[in-house]
Amino acid sequence: MNYELALKLKEAGFPQTNDKDITAYWSPGGDLRISGSLIDQEEDGSLILASDCGKFDVKRPTLKELIEECANEFESLSLIIDGGIDGKEKLWWATARDMAKNQVAGETAEEAVAYLWIRLNKKG
């Protein structure tokens, strides 16, 4: 999930706090922070953790948190792979109980369920 989608979730009212031990947030500057530690990545791929992450801006929910927030409206999550020439086309589909109105796709499972949550919680 990218910052822009996480921001859409926040703007649609997705809870920004929880009582879990590990939570990921983006700072106002766009740095990804996890459980009170700033994450930075070296060129070799190793991660650097700092002791304090300061102000949180936008939560990066886990797939489990997204599904739990959909509550009884969530029906299923499916990975559809296109059997075309290379078979590399794939999309995740998240479906609500009212499938006709609420079936959305994403490139990742988290993205699909995030879009579903936004649709289910659309105001107006």
Q: Please indicate, yes or no, whether residues 48 and 87 belong to a single structural domain of this protein.
A: no
What is the per-residue pLDDT across 77-120, written as a single tens digit (0 to 9) for each?
Answer: 999 887 656 666 789 999 999 866 689 999 999 999 999 999 99
CA 42-107-26 angle, to 5 degrees, is: 45
Three-state helix/strand/coil letters over the chain: CCHHHHHHHHHCCCCCCCCCCCCEEECCCCCEEECCEEEEECCCCCEEECCCCCCCCEEECCHHHHHHHHHHHEEEEEEEECCCCCCCCEEEEEEECCCCCCEEEECCHHHHHHHHHHHHCCCC
Q: Please indicate, yes or no, whether residues 77 and 103 belong to a single structural domain of this protein.
A: yes
Q: Please indicate, yes or no, whether residues 52 and 68 belong to a single structural domain of this protein.
A: no
Q: What pLDDT is recorded for position 48? A: 45
Q: How many domains does the chain have?
A: 2
Q: Please indicate, yes or no, whether residues 51 and 97 belong to a single structural domain of this protein.
A: no
- Domain carrying residue 101: 63-120
Domain closes at, from 60, 82, 108: 60
Q: Please indicate, yes or no, whether residues 71 and 116 belong to a single structural domain of this protein.
A: yes
Q: Please indicate, yes or no, whether residues 67 and 110 belong to a single structural domain of this protein.
A: yes
Q: Please indicate, yes or no, whether residues 56 and 85 belong to a single structural domain of this protein.
A: no
